[in-house]
Every structure is written in C-alpha cells, then in structure tokens.
Amino acid sequence: MFRAKKMLRTALLAASVTPFVLPQALSAAPQSASGARPNILLVLVDDMGWGDLNCNWAYGEKFKNRNRTHRFKTPTLDKMASEGILLSRHYTACPVSAPARASLMTGMHQGHTRQVRDNTFDTPIADVHTLGSVLKEAGYATAAIGKWGIGGVGNGSTGNSGYARARERGFDYFYGLFDHLAGHYHYPANSGRYVWENETDVTEKLKGGYAYSTDLFTARAKDWIVKSKKADPNRPFFVYLALPAPHGSLRVPNCPYPAGGGLKGGVQWTKDGTVNTANPKLGQADSYIHPDNKNFTTDAARRHSTMIRRVDDAMADLFKLLKDLKIDDNTLVVFTADNGPHEEAGNDCGKTAFYASGSPAQDPSFFKSYGMMDGIKRDVFEGGLRVPAIVRWPKFIPKKKTTTEPSQFHDWLATFADVAGAEVPSSSDGVSLLPILTGEGKRIPGQIYCEYSVGGSSSRRGDFAPAHHGLPRRNQLVVWENGYKGLARNLNEHSKFSGDGAVVFEIYDTLKDPQETKNLAGKPGFGEDFQQKLRDKALRSRRAFDGKHPHEYTRGLDFSQKSFFEKNPVPAVAQAGNTENMDFEYKVFASQKAFPWVPDFRQTRREAVLSGKAQKALGENLLPQEFVNRRGARGILIEGTVSVPENAEYVFTLQTDNAKGSKAFVHLYDIQLIDADKLYKPGTAARSYANVGTENPTGTRGIRLAAGTHKIRIEYVCSAAAQAPSLVLTREKR
C-alpha cells in the first residue's frame, strides 16, 4: 500500500512538471531574416563595461593597452557569442543611464530625444513611436520587465501621478521599477523603493523575503513568456528585460542560482507573486559570492564579478527556457549594457537595517572593465560609450562571428522593425543592422552621434593616457565622419562655426586606436577642411529647439539649448538656387492597407510602383499627378533640395489633405524638421518649431539656415485614396 501511494505520488509529481510544448509553426519557414517575425528578447544590463564581457578580450588583446591582472568568467555569454555575433564596436547613445535608455526606446539619437538627455532622470520620454509600440502594432505581444527609468511615478507610492509609463509607450505589460533610483537597490522591496505590476504597487507582496532583482525580473520574464506562448503559440513576443545589475550598490544574492533552468528549474515565479529564491531559509541577503570569484582580493571585486555572474546564470536559464519551449531557433536575443563601467558605491551603503554591511565603491581598474580603452561611465571616450553587445538568432545569424562595423542604440528600433516585417518609422535615426548580423544584403549608411553635458571631469585611472586625465566633461559632442570619430568639448565656451575661436574636434581612428592616444587633428588629411566637415556634420544632425517644459518634474529645465546649435546656421551644400522652388525626385509606394506611421521609405522592402523627377513651387501641392491618379498609392518618398536667400532663421510649415490617416515627416539633412506623424491631425498646419510629442508642443524657435541650397527628405502617407490628396510645404523668415 505504501509503495502504491509512493508510486502514485511520483507519477503526479512527474505530471506536474511535464514541460509545456509548443506546436510547430503552421506556415513555411521564412527564407529571409527580414520579415521572419522571430520572438525578440532584448536584455539590457546596467553599467557593465565592455571589458567585463570575457569574450570581448579575444578582440581587445590585439591592442596596446590590453594588460589586465584579473579576470572573471562569463560562460553563458561567451557561449552566446560563439553561437552568434559579437558587436565589438557597439555604442550607447549616451554614457549615462536614462538618456541611453530613451534613445534605445525611441530609436532617436541624443540630438532628437528632446526630454531625456544629459544627466536627467525620471523625465518622461516623448510620446513618439517606441520599441514597444512598433512591435505591438506589428502583432507582437510586448512586455517591459525590470528598470524603466524614463517616466513613471518617480518616488511615489500610487499610480495616480503616472506619466510616460511603459504601457503608455506601447507595451502590453510591465513589471518592475519606474524610478531609476530603485534600480540602485538590488533588494528593492526591502530598501524603501517601489515595485510595480502595470500601474499597481506590488511592493508589499515582496517584503519580508529576499527578492534579489536579477532573480525577480528573470523569473517574471520566464513566466510571462510561457503564458504568452500558451495563450497563442503562433504569436511572436517581444520582451525588454532591463536588469539593474551590476550598478552600485554592489549587492549580491542570498543563495546560489537554482539548478536546471528553463521550465522546470532555475528561478521560478511563485503563486504568491515573488521568486523562489526570495526565501530567508536559503541564506542571508547580500551574502552569496560565486565560488569562482571568492579569491579576488577586494570585496568590491568579489561583489562586482558575482553580480555579473548572476546575470550570466540568468541568461543560461532563459536560453534553457527557449529550448524547452522549442522556440530557441527562431528567437532573436540581444544582450547589451546601457553605458560604460561605474566607480560608485551606490545609495544604500548599509544605511538601512536590512544590510549587515556597507557597499564598497566599484574599482573599474581591477578587472579593466573598460577594456583596452580609456573612459568610464559619464566619459565620452570609448570606454564610456562602447558597450558589450552580443546577438544570437540560430535560424539566421552565423556562428562565431565578430564585426567591427560601428552601430549604436538607435539602430535597434530599425532592426527589430525589419525582422518583424514592419516599416521603420521615419522618426527613427537608426538603420537596420540585419545586413551586418546575417551577412546578407547591403546596409544603408548609419550614423554615430552623442552629445552629453554634465559637471565634473574625466576619470584619472592609472592606465589611462595622461592627456585624458581630468578633462572637463561639460558640453561634449561626438560625431563620426568617414569612419573617424570627432570629439568636441566646451561647446558653449567655444561655439563658433568657423574662424578664430571655432569649435575644434579631437579626431581619432578608433578602429586602430581604441584608447584614443593619437589625436589626428592637424595631421595631413585632418586639417581645417576635415574640421569643417565635422562641424557641418554636427549642424546637419540636429537643430536648436525650445526644450523648456512646464511639467512639474521638468519645469524650468532646458535640455536642448546648446549655443553651438543656437549660434551657427545649418550649412548649405551649394549656393542659393531658385528660392521659390523645390527640385526633387520621387518614388511612389503601394499598400493594401494603411501605413500605421510614416515609414522611412529608404529602408522599405517594397518596390516603388512609380518614380520620377519634379520641380514644384513652395506652397504648391508637392504630390505629382502620377501619385494623385495612381490607385492603391499609399506613400511617397520625396528627396531633393530647397533654397533660402540669406542667412536667417526660418520656419517651415507642412499641411496634408484632411483625409483620415494622412501624415508626413520631413528631414532637412538628418535633422528632424517637421513631425506630422503620431500626434498629427490631418489637414492642419505642422510647423518646424513644434516640439511634437513633448510636454511643450508649441515651441518658439525656428531653424537657422545658411544662404544656399539644402537637402530635404519628405515622406507622406495616406490611408485611402483622398479626393484630392495634397502635401504643401511653405517657408517663412522669422
């Protein structure tokens, strides 16, 4: 009898852990990565340096500043790289958290993310297209789990004052931390911070246990993925998993990572809304050091390496889950970090009774966390901007591949739209990385751009070049030209366009000289002509605009007015032509259904059904008659030139027909000139001074242009054949 009961109990237990298996996809496997609609898992960690990723050093050890005394293991991430591609020159948008995340989420570089920039935190991202909204529109189930930090409720304990929360920016589901400071406390529920599920405060569910943030958010992501696939096996998912490690405070788990991983093992979400490792019986909070890391000579080193090893274990757990669900082959996984390594002690520092001891400051020199480069968090040298990045997608990405092609955070929105079969929004500054990842096709040129203002000086690490020590960090600008990095400082002190006192760029070949010890400025080929190219590139990348916001969290702050952009006109490409006309080429695109946003038609997979050349007067309908007459025409790309008669400040106004769904986007060079897309009402005037999507949409500033001819790009879409579709652009001097 006893044996029978035992056998029955064993059988029931076996039944309870039988893995949930997905049916195979009903349709034939796609032949191209573009439009393959894989599941997408984007894992973003906090303050992990390029040199903290062990597999990066096969590339890093080729350079002079390569010697490191200590190293720790990242076995899962190394394996991920061996099964996919290592992006050895991938750049964050900004060397600090919130601005970097804003650019990642919106696909805009720091010249265009008007509300979250420089050293601002908990400021709402603009109401624009995001990773979440684009993939949701493409049919994906979307979830953001972990640290948000770009809007939410600040330090509040209720959802009534919320703004720019994840579900208000395109996600179906959110679980995690709204305010950035909560991410500094790796046991957030026991540190006076707040944890949220959607807009509900769920902190009380976690108190009393030891819910370590890396474990908690990994378990929540695993549970959501399983439930999402169970609800609809054929619907792809997008999970943005933002883990707070290894940001200071340097807090470690309470126990070893649970064995097994996947559906049956690893961290698991419990019925009472927490993680299975949040159990005081498993060990004291902030006590567990991974055995591989116990012999390091400093407490900070043991903690830092253990925090990253915990992330590595979480990645192994997630990969096991993908295999258990039989979706591993067609899941695109991206692993990266928000900026370079930190040297911070963190915020809790043992001040609360929950911790037995303080949190030491991280020493990024111990493991050479910045790699063979100079710079850490808040530096615009390579060590502050270049971040670890690995991409794995077994179905389409070759194994054991490393690329030195430069790429940046704003490229991910374009890349994910591409694989999802969606159009890349014209509002994105990014270019799809798919040709780099798969080795198929040709990528249109992308751009690397960063601007950052903060007080203080650059780091004085002992192995940094002496010339890099103690440089003022304020008002820094990075642009690339012809593969070379231009770095300018003190834009407000030296803001002239040309002549005496003009902004002077340091120039580096970061492919050959990642430590940036050889400033090429003034050398043959890098004289004043090249300096002018860098200034021109910067001024054609973004414009000055009114960034003052009335919102209570941003009132009185101006995140955009930098004198270099205020004082200098955007340079022309040629002498003034006919100032009343636009000369342009056009391509017409057909679609069976309306475009949900204005696409970047340069990156579309669609073939143009019509093309031609035209000249139209400003104030005249720019749509060629062929577009008006063509049935099924839903979009048009116009690329050409527009002229201005003199150096002055101008305002451009665009107006579409009033047909439902009509909208447009205008670029002057790479500058976002007019946004008549997401918040645009068809038939109304959209002006170039409007801060569309911001807390202050009216704006006050025009755009300063040098006399002459300027390159312009206009994309227009309509939802149905209007009786008289129209697109009118006018210009006035202020």
Over 80: is that where the pLDDT of 348 sits? no
Same domain, 560 and 632: no
Q: Write out the two tokens for 343.
A: 């040297």
Same domain, 551 and 587: no
| Residue 534 near residue 518, CB atoms below 8 Å | no
Residue 261 counted as domain residue: yes
Instruction: Write down the mean pLDDT value for the chain.
Output: 89
What stretch of H or E contains 16?
helix 2-16
Band (pLDDT 50/70/90 cuts) for residue 414 is: very high
| 484-488 and 727-733 strand pairing | unpaired
CA distance 642 to 49: 44
Residue 469 counted as domain residue: no
What pLDDT score does 299 carry?
97
619: how many CB neighbours lie within 10 A of its CB? Answer: 12
Residue 675 counted as domain residue: yes
Same domain, 563 and 587: no
Same domain, 502 and 588: no
What pLDDT score does 716 carry?
97
Length of the chain as a residue count: 734
What stretch of H or E contains 78?
helix 75-82
CA distance 80 to 180: 28
Domain final residue, candidates 546, 568, 590: 568
DSSP character string of 460-502? --TTS-GGGTT-B-SSEEEEEETTEEEEE--TTTS-BSSSTTB
What is the mean predicted confidence (pLDDT) over 50-70?
A: 93
Band (pLDDT 50/70/90 cuts) for residue 433 is: very high
Radius of gyration of the chain (CA): 26
Over 70: is that where the pLDDT of 162 sits? no
DSSP character string of 224-261? HHHHHHHH-TTS-EEEEEE--TTSSS----SSPPPSS-
Q: Write out the two tokens for 703.
A: 């755009």
Same domain, 370 and 336: yes
What pLDDT score does 551 carry?
52
DSSP character string of 143-177? EEEEE--SSB-TT-SSSTT-BS-GGGGT-SEEEEE
Residue 690's contacts (CB-CB under 8 Å, 6 or more residues apart) are 674, 675, 697, 698, 699
Spell 581-607 as b/e; 16+ CB within 10 A means b.
bbbbebbbbebeebbbbbbbbebbeee
Matching residue, tokens 């080429």: 585
| Residue 278 near residue 210, CB atoms below 8 Å | yes
Same domain, 422 and 534: no
CATH of the domain at 430: 3.40.720.10
pLDDT in tens, 253-308: 999 999 999 999 999 999 999 999 999 999 999 999 999 999 999 999 999 999 99
Say how many domains are in the chain: 3
Cα distance between the two ends of the chain: 94
Residue 459 counted as domain residue: no
Lowest mean pLDDT among 145-154, 376-385, 482-491: 145-154
What is the mean predicted confidence (pLDDT) over 517-534?
A: 97
Domain final residue, candidates 533, 568, 603: 568
Residue 253 counted as domain residue: yes
What is the mean predicted confidence (pLDDT) over 323-337?
A: 98
> Nearest-CA neighbor of 100 among 108, 92, 90, 91?
92
Same domain, 106 and 177: yes
5: how many CB neighbours lie within 10 A of its CB? Answer: 9
What is the mean predicted confidence (pLDDT) over 173-181?
A: 92
Domain final residue, candidates 514, 535, 568: 568
What pLDDT score does 561 carry?
57
Same domain, 635 and 598: yes
Same domain, 428 and 488: no
Same domain, 639 and 552: no
Residue 663 counted as domain residue: yes
Same domain, 171 and 199: yes
What pLDDT score does 350 carry?
57
Band (pLDDT 50/70/90 cuts) for residue 113 is: confident
CA distance 280 to 210: 6
What is the mean predicted confidence (pLDDT) over 209-237?
A: 97
Helix 299-324 / helix 75-82 crossing angle, nearest 10 deg:
50
Residue 55 counted as domain residue: yes
What is the mean predicted confidence (pLDDT) over 726-734?
A: 93
pLDDT in tens, 447-482: 999 999 888 899 889 999 999 999 988 889 999 999
Residue 552 counted as domain residue: yes
Q: What's this model's pTM, rounded to 2 decimal places?
A: 0.94
Lowest mean pLDDT among 175-189, 320-334, 494-508: 494-508
What is the mean predicted confidence (pLDDT) over 675-681?
A: 94
What pLDDT score does 30 carry?
54
Structural domain that includes position 655: 581-733
Q: 555 pairs with which residues across the strands?
A: 549
CA distance 413 to 129: 9
CATH of the domain at 595: 2.60.120.380
Same domain, 527 and 389: no
